[in-house]
Structure formats: structure tokens, C-alpha cells
């Protein structure tokens, strides 16, 4: 009888000692959690095809192309686009150029978010903006599409406007009725001369987004 009572108290003592111990997280689960939080999807919006390569509307493509070339990584053809992977300070940046054409950009964004398990707060969409002077930078945590068809489709497919967007100004120096020609036109000589410095700045913004966070990036770069 005494032996049974001793065993009972011994069992309760063991339970009490383990009550405050957290469940063990296996190493593969730790790695999965870490990889998700340190992975970022950077989407440059644009249109595929040689005729669009140097157009104002394709500045999103141009920015991610610049970063990839600078860091020595290459784009590979994947589902719904081309993709380059770049690692910096423990973060993985997936640089995506959708091949769906501008008006269906959201399909590619959604697919790669789901495939790579990237949370919405780790997504940055890069687009041109007619309402900003050439080369001006505006980074926001959310907002309307502003008349941009690529952003409009992203909003529709993701069913939210609450994602980070990086707008690059292309100005509105066009005559009445010539907006489409202007947006799908080539940069003028002065813009071509100024672009390298602006592209360098844009590549810094992308890296800052992943390492310093959105708020710090907005403070450091908006208006530059």
C-alpha cells in the first residue's frame, strides 16, 4: 500500500515538472518557419516581347533586370513568368517578371506566393506611375491601383490592396490622346542618361525592403 502511494506521488511530481516545458519543435519545422519569414517576392510589372523591352511601362522589368545583372544571378523560365533568386544578408529575394502581360499580372503573383509560401507582407510590386515626375520614388504599404492595369489585376486576384508597392515615376509629358503611345514608348535621351542612377537607387530599395523593413524603407527613400 505504501509502495503504491509512493508511486502515485512520484507520477504527479513528474507531471508537475514537465508542465512548464514547451513542446519540442523539430529542426525541419524550425527551418520551414525561418525560410518563410526570410523569403521575399519582388515583382516587376511589365509586358513580354522585344517591342516592350525599353518602354516606360516596363520599368518594373527593368528594375529587377538591373538588380539581377548587378548581383550576377540569371532569370529562368518558370510557370507564368521568369524568375531569378538572389540571397542577401540571410534573406532570399525571388525576382519575378510575369509573362501574363500587364493586365493579368495578379495570376503570376498569386501563384508564386502560394508556391513559395510567401506572406503578403513580404511581397513588393514595382510599377510605373504617370502621376510622378520622372524617376521619383513612392513606396506605400497599400493603396488603390491609381489607374494602373497591372495593379488593378493584382488587387482583383489577391482580393486586397494591402500589399507594398513601389511606384517609379515616368511623368505625364504627353499630348492629349497620346497616353498609350507615351506609356508604351521608349525613354527620351535625357531619361536614358538619368536611368542608371535611378536603377541603382531602386536596387537599394529592394534590398532595404527585405532587410530594414517597409516602414524604414519608406522613411529612407520616399521623395528621393
Q: In the predicted model, is pLDDT for residue 58 greater than 80? A: yes
Active-site annotation, residues: 57
Average of pLDDT values for 114-119? Answer: 97
Smallest CA-to-CA distance from 223 within 145, 127, 139 is with: 139
List phi, psi (to 5°) of 77. Answer: -70, 125
In the structure grid, which three cell numbers stand for residue 186, read together?
Answer: 521608349
In this prediction the pTM is: 0.83
Element (H, E) at 91: strand 91-98
Q: Can you give the pLDDT at residue 145?
A: 92
Question: What's the burial of 162, exposed, middle or buried (CB within 10 Å: 0-12/13-18/19+)?
Answer: exposed
Q: Return the percentage of the chain with pLDDT > 70, whole number.
A: 83
Instruction: Tell me the CA distances in angstroms from 184 to 57, 72, 94, 135, one per residue in order.
Output: 6, 29, 26, 17
Residue 199 sits at the vertex; the CA angle it makes with 196 and 203, to the nearest 5 degrees, is: 140
Give the list of residues 6+ apart from residue 172 with CB closer than 8 angstroms, or none. Answer: 130, 131, 179, 182
Check residues 80 and 22 and name the one with the higher pLDDT: 80
Smallest CA-to-CA distance from 108 within 129, 78, 128 is with: 78
d(CA 36, CA 218): 23
Largest pairwise CA distance in the chain: 100
d(CA 195, CA 86): 22
**What would the pLDDT profile of 137-182 be if each residue is shown by its tens digit?**
999 999 999 999 999 999 999 999 999 999 999 999 888 888 999 9
DSSP 142: S
Amino acid at each position: 500500500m505504501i509502495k503504491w502511494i509512493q508511486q502515485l506521488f512520484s507520477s504527479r511530481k513528474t507531471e508537475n515538472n514537465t508542465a512548464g516545458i514547451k513542446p519540442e519543435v523539430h529542426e525541419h519545422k524550425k527551418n520551414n518557419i525561418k525560410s518563410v519569414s526570410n523569403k521575399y517576392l519582388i515583382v516587376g510589372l511589365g509586358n513580354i516581347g522585344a517591342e516592350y523591352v525599353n518602354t516606360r511601362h516596363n520599368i518594373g522589368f527593368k528594375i529587377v533586370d538591373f538588380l539581377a545583372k548587378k548581383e550576377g544571378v540569371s532569370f529562368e523560365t518558370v510557370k507564368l513568368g521568369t524568375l531569378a533568386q538572389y540571397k542577401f544578408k540571410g534573406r532570399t529575394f525571388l525576382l519575378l517578371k510575369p509573362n501574363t502581360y500587364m493586365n493579368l499580372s495578379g495570376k503570376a503573383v498569386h501563384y508564386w506566393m502560394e508556391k513559395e509560401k510567401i506572406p503578403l507582407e513580404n511581397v513588393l510590386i514595382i510599377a510605373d506611375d504617370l502621376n510622378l515626375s520622372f524617376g521619383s520614388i513612392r513606396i506605400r504599404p497599400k493603396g488603390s491601383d491609381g489607374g494602373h492595369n497591372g495593379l488593378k489585376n493584382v488587387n482583383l486576384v489577391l482580393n486586397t490592396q494591402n500589399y507594398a508597392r513601389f511606384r517609379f515615376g515616368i511623368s505625364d509629358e504627353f499630348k492629349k490622346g497620346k497616353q498609350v503611345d507615351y506609356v508604351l514608348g521608349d525613354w527620351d535621351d535625357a531619361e536614358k542618361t538619368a536611368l542608371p542612377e535611378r536603377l541603382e537607387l531602386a536596387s537599394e530599395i529592394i534590398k532595404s525592403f527585405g532587410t530594414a523593413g517597409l516602414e524604414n524603407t519608406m522613411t529612407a527613400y520616399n521623395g528621393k
